[in-house]
Amino acid sequence: MSNLLIRGGTVVNADRSFRADVLTQNGKIAAVGESLQAPAGATVVDAGGQYVMPGGIDPHTHMQLPFMGTVTMDDFFTGTAAGLAGGNTTIIDFVIPNPKQPLMEAYQTWRGWAEKAAGDYSFHVAVTWWDESVHRDMGTLVHSEGVNSFKHFMAYKNAIMCDDETLVNSFKRCLELGAMPTVHAENGELVFLLQREVAAMGIKGPEGHPLSRPPMVEGEAANRAIAIADVLNVPIYVVHVSCVEAAESIARARARGQRVYGEVLAGHLVIDDSVYRHPDFATAAAHVMSPPFRPKGNQEFLWRGLQAGNLHTTATDHCTFCAAQKAAGKDDFAKIPNGCGGVEERLAVIWDEGVNTGRLTPSEFVAITSANTAKLFNIYPQKGSVSVGADADLVVWDPAGTKTLSAKTQHSKGDFNIFEGRTVRGIPSHTVSQGEPVFVQGDLRAVQGKGRYLKRPAFGPNFAAAKLRAETLAPTAVKR
Ligand code: URQ
Ligand code: ZN
Ligand code: ZN
């Protein structure tokens, strides 16, 4: 492993910004301070006038996902490499077993696929069905494989959707294991009905997609998942919160003292539902993802949620399908594979729309793009912090650099960019992964297979503290 000295920059962590050099050795941060000396043979990066931040952590990607009859364009190499080009150094992807497929079998399959990753990765494991073997495999995954989060799709009926029985059993098991339950919160029964109703009205194009998934479809499911978690006294993490209805459910629960956390996609922060009315099918279909992009006004509400601390992390749900794949839904919007890209653009879009507008400080930017995810999934400060002993995953950020985002220049294998044409100010000049410069002023040096699987320890007794709340609140036995 080489030594690297990043000199002259301003270090930005979630808690503070300060002038300091950063020295890395053997893939770890060895020193953070003023006037550090470069060991013989060290690589030196001049970070004058730039920020040195923890590498981005994207808690929601789907590389190489088999879904809706096809497989995403990005595999674990191209997807993680694209992330490195955008300052993202870690992904948390998803193992999604088919119903009745043993969780451990699916987990081994995804582990195999991910060996080609260029950056570090970890997995949430989806619980898509329930029986005693699922209960058992969740324990194995937590105790032996370093999984500390389990995903539940409340949408995608007749595919990977789980019902309330599965939610209740799995959330209960999560509490026992000290694992975070997470949800894709859309009412899949309503979607299934509305898709047929919208089609029956003769609407076959992508404009039908948001009509079949109105915000209350998400609001109801978010509220239901949060209520189940409340009764069971388990924390809960809601992925891709896209609308007021879901964000308000989270804020209300948090105001009652419940441990609920929300994730927001970069796309949902800056794109509205007008994209579905684009006259070009391919353009409108390229934006088909779930939950859909929402009417104007929802985006600002999500920004306020991040500013208020009711929403905590940002992600991309990077799940890329090309035009030919999206054309499967040419005559039926319900058949358009759901998913969009973003793993390379997330940091620059959120910096430009968040920091340059004054919504976020640089430290708040670090919190919502890296540190909060590391804390919520128990890998802080190994990840998410520029501090001695942490992994040397860093991004040197040029606040004056500009770039126009485009499918023509992206590193993703997708053929569309939902941020097409957006010119951003604030871009990575260098990305460092395991102490190695892997992106240097536009030159991507990602190495296939260099990425490591990240174990994430189960949460400790504080996680179970929620149970105490039940005991303290439970009425004392009535003496008869
Ligand atoms: O629902 C998800 O998160 C996966 C299947 C990606 N697709 C999407 O539309 N979000
Ligand atoms: Zn989802
Ligand atoms: Zn997803």
Q: Which of 210, 176, 122, 101 is nearest to 455 (CA)?
A: 122
Q: Is the CB of 339 under 6 A from ligand 1?
A: yes
Is the per-residue pLDDT at 460 higher than 90?
no
Q: In Å, how far are 68, 161, 169, 199, 335 from 158, measured between CA atoms?
A: 11, 7, 20, 18, 14
For the cut 70, the answer to whether the pLDDT of residue 37 exceeds it is yes
Residue 470's pLDDT is 53
Could you identify the atom of ligand 1 that is nearest to the CA of residue 289?
9
Quickly state the pLDDT bin for 467 (edges 50, 70, 90): very low
* Residue 266: strand, helix, or coil: helix
- Ligand (nearest to CA of 289): 1
Nearest-CA residue for atom 7 of ligand 1: 339
Residue 469 above 70 pLDDT? no
Counting ligand 1 atoms within 8 A of each CB, the residue from 338, 340, 343 with the most, and so the one to mutate, is 338
Q: In the chain, where are the structural domains located? A: 54-386+454-461
| Ligand 2 centroid, distance to 305 Cα (angstroms) | 19
Q: Tell me the two tokens of residue 18.
A: 């300060």
Atom 4 of ligand 1: nearest residue by CA position: 339
Q: Measured between alpha carbons, how far is 16 from 19 in angstroms, rounded to an integer?
A: 10
Nearest CA to ligand 1 atom 9: 289
Averaged pLDDT for residues 314-334? 98
Whether 95 contacts 123, CB under 8 Å: yes
Quick one: which atom of ligand 1 is closest to the CA of 67?
A: 5
Among 80, 87, 149, 160, CA closest to 121: 80
Pair type for strands 180-184 and 149-153: parallel
**pLDDT of amino acid 480:** 84
Which of 317, 326, 336 is the best mutation target for the ligand 1 pocket, counting ligand atoms within 8 Å of the beta carbon and taking the most? 317
- Is the bond preceding 461 in cis, omega lying within 30 degrees of 0? no
Residue 383 contacts residue 57 (beta carbons within 8 Å): yes
> Residue 474: pLDDT above 80?
no
pLDDT in tens, 205-233: 999 999 999 999 999 999 999 999 999 99
Reply yes or no on whether the pLDDT at 468 is more than 80: no
Residue 342: pLDDT band with limits 50, 70, 90 = very high
In DSSP terms, 453 is beta-bridged to: 121
Ligand 1, atom 1: closest residue by C-alpha: 290
Interval 223-271: pLDDT, tens: 999 999 999 999 999 999 999 999 999 999 999 999 999 999 999 999 9
Ligand found nearest the CA of 183: 2
Q: How far apart are CA 316 and CA 301, in angstroms?
A: 18
Beta strands in 318-473 (DSSP E): 394-404, 423-433, 436-440, 443-444
CB 372 within 8 A of CB 306: no
Cα–Cα distance measured from residue 145 to residue 452, given in angstroms and rounded to the nearest whole number:
13
Compute, in angstroms, the gap from residue 431 CA to the centroid of ligand 1: 27
pLDDT (average), residues 36-50: 97
CA of 183 to the centre of ligand 3 (A): 10
Residue 295's pLDDT is 98
- Token pair 């105490």 is found at 468
Q: pLDDT category, 476, cuts 50, 70, 90?
A: confident
pLDDT digits (tens, 9 = 90+) for 116-134: 999 999 999 999 999 999 9
Distance 64 CA to ligand 3 centre (A): 12
Does position 461 have pLDDT exceeding 90, yes or no?
Answer: no
CATH no. of 54-386+454-461 = 3.20.20.140
* 64 Cα to the center of ligand 1, angstroms: 13
Task: Quote the ligand 1 centre to 429 CA distance (angstroms).
Answer: 30
Please tell me what DSSP assigns to residue 333: G
Q: Separation of 173 CA from ligand 1 center, angstroms?
A: 24
Distance 188 CA to ligand 1 centre (A): 13
Ligand 1 neighbourhood includes 391 CB (under 6 angstroms): no
pLDDT in tens, 423-438: 999 999 999 999 999 9
Q: Is the pLDDT of residue 190 over 60?
A: yes
- CA distances, 135 to each of 104, 173, 244, 291, 353 (Å): 11, 7, 34, 29, 43
**Rounded mean pLDDT of the chain?**
96
3-state secondary structure 156-206: CCCCCCCCHHHHHHHHHHHHHHCCEEEEECCCHHHHHHHHHHHHHCCCCCC
